[in-house]
Homo-oligomer: A and B are copies of this chain.
């Protein structure tokens, strides 16, 4: 019998959990997005809290996303993706390619963390409204110099990957890193549409990759379904008019 995956993540936002959802969807496996079930059916935030506060789990995670499968808990986004990628053909099989995929995913995780911190330069525990001045200063520098540099790196990797005709980041087929790159572009477009309008002409490979991923049958079906939560102001890709700098 195939394993059933249980994903534990905040039920009302995409966040880092979305990188896991995209991999599960592309893999075409059965999974339960546990915290999106009603509380009466064992879901909601209480399901998440039970895992985070569990005294019985041998390997308690620090934070979601968390994947439960075969009695095992796996956390940390890049770690979950490495695990799912190996199990479901979303990464090449050789050691060198797997290290490379993980390396790129960790760099992508760093970008995601920097995007998050545009709204939370002082502390995640504070509301954005309590750190707006610092957020404006951080975001200005991020959009001016840092984001073009980071996206330019991935664009360079894509253009060097001639075996895939520049269509994939790792090897010559789709990998979980491509799925995350799709989400990064989609999220940045939501959060910073004006800056992305400026930057996109310089990253046409990544823009094509975004479109290639969006058009894959399972991903297209997912994006059109109710399983895909909309971007919103609680997620890590937030849109604030005052931070939407050109």
Residue A219 is within 8 A (CB to CB) of chain B in the complex: no
Which chain B residues lie closer than 8 Å to A134 at the CB level?
Answer: 121-122, 134, 137
Residue A43 is within 8 A (CB to CB) of chain B in the complex: no
Asked if B121 contacts A142 (CB within 8 A), the reply is no
Closest B residue by C-beta to A102: B79
Distance in angstroms from A132 CB to nearest chain B CB is: 12
Residue A164 is within 8 A (CB to CB) of chain B in the complex: no
Residue A13 is within 8 A (CB to CB) of chain B in the complex: no
Please report the C-alpha to C-alpha distance between residue A145 and residue B123 in the assembled complex, in whole angstroms.
10
Copies in the complex: 2
Contact with B along A103-140 (1 / 0, CB 8 A): 10011000001000100011101100000001001100
- Chain A binding site: helix, strand, loop or mixed by DSSP? helix
Asked if B99 contacts A74 (CB within 8 A), the reply is yes
Please report the C-alpha to C-alpha distance between residue A70 and residue B134 in the assembled complex, in whole angstroms.
45
Asked if A106 contacts B145 (CB within 8 A), the reply is no
Asked if B137 contacts A122 (CB within 8 A), the reply is yes
Asked if A103 contacts B79 (CB within 8 A), the reply is yes
B103, B122, B153, B156: which contacts A121 (Cβ < 8 A)? Answer: B122
